[in-house]
Every structure is written in structure tokens, then in C-alpha cells.
Structure 1
Amino acid sequence: MTLYRVRVQFEQDGPQIVGEWEQRPTAERAYRKWIGSRPARPGLLIRLTAQDDGRPEAELASWPPRSDNGAD
């Protein structure tokens, strides 16, 4: 089974709010809703991830988008 998570972090290295769903469309709606309800500000990070049984969590999307070179 795959679990989809939306992680909202308001400041770098700060606590997170995490929601978890078994259906990807539900998680994607929650991800878009969080993006639409939060103004951009330094340190804010909203991530959509997926994790299959026994595998590491993989990031599907993030906002604001992270750069490909690993620098935030």
C-alpha cells in the first residue's frame, strides 16, 4: 500500500503539520489547498510525498519549488 503525505513546515527546521491519505487525489487536493491558503514567506515549505511499504518516502512535489542543485 502507498501512503501519501502532505507536510507543512512554517520555518526551516521547525515542527511540521502532517496529513496522510491512501488516495493520491485526496492528498493532491490537500496539497493544493495548503498552497492556496498560505502566502509565500521565508522558511515555509509544503511537500507532497509518497511512501510504499518498506521503501523510503519520496517527494512528489514541493512549494515553493526546490532547485535541482540541492540548494534551498
Structure 2
Amino acid sequence: METKHLARLQFEADGPAVEGEWKVPATAQDRYTEWVGLDGTDPDVVIRLIEETDGRQRTVKTWTAQGEVEGPKP
């Protein structure tokens, strides 16, 4: 069972995404934080930190211009 850690940036909800994938969670967290700093004030942007295991994704954090929301714990 391998877990991937993703950071996903969408410039509009349900729009196309830019995404990175890493095996190391800290690397995905760093990219998420970087994107929040660069694009987090745009009212249309949605940034997510995601954990994927066996093809199942769990959103760890979501950032919008309204702030950050943490996803449910596993």
C-alpha cells in the first residue's frame, strides 16, 4: 500500500488543475503553502492538500480566499 501526497491548484472551482505528486508528505505541504502564499488571495482560487492511498483520495486541507479548512481525519 503506497501513499501519494498531492498539492492541487485550481484557478476556479471545478476548473482545470495544476497538480504535483510526492511520496514525502512534507514536500507536498511545502508546495501547498507556497501556492497559498502566491495565489491564496484570489477569490476564485482553490488549493488542496490531498493524501491518496490505493486510489482513494482524502483532502487534508483546502484553501480558498475565505481561509483554510481541514479535512476529516482518517
Fold equivalence (TM over 0.5): yes
Cα shift readout 1:38-72 (whole Å, capped 9, x = no counterpart): 14222210000001124x10000010235x9xxxx
Distance 2:40 2:51 in 1: 25
- Specify the SS of the correspondent of 2:27: helix
Distance 1:7 1:39, change over 3 A: closer
* Matching residue of 1:28: 29
1:46 maps to 2:43: no
Code of the aligned partner of 1:63: W
| 1:58 and 2:52 are equivalent in the alignment | no
Following TM superposition, the consecutive aligned residue runs of length 4 or more in structure 1 with deviations greater than 3 angstroms are: none
Residues 53 and 39 (structure 1 numbering): CA distance in 2 closer, same or farther, change over 3 Å?
Answer: closer
Q: Higher strand proportion, which one?
A: 2
State percent identity of aligned pairs.
35
Task: Tell me the TM-score normalised to structure 2 length.
Answer: 0.79
- Consecutive unaligned residues in structure 2, runs of 5 or more: none
Over aligned residues, Cα RMSD in angstroms?
1.9
Q: Which runs of 5+ in 1 are unaligned?
A: none
Alpha-carbon distance, 1:27 to partner: 0.5
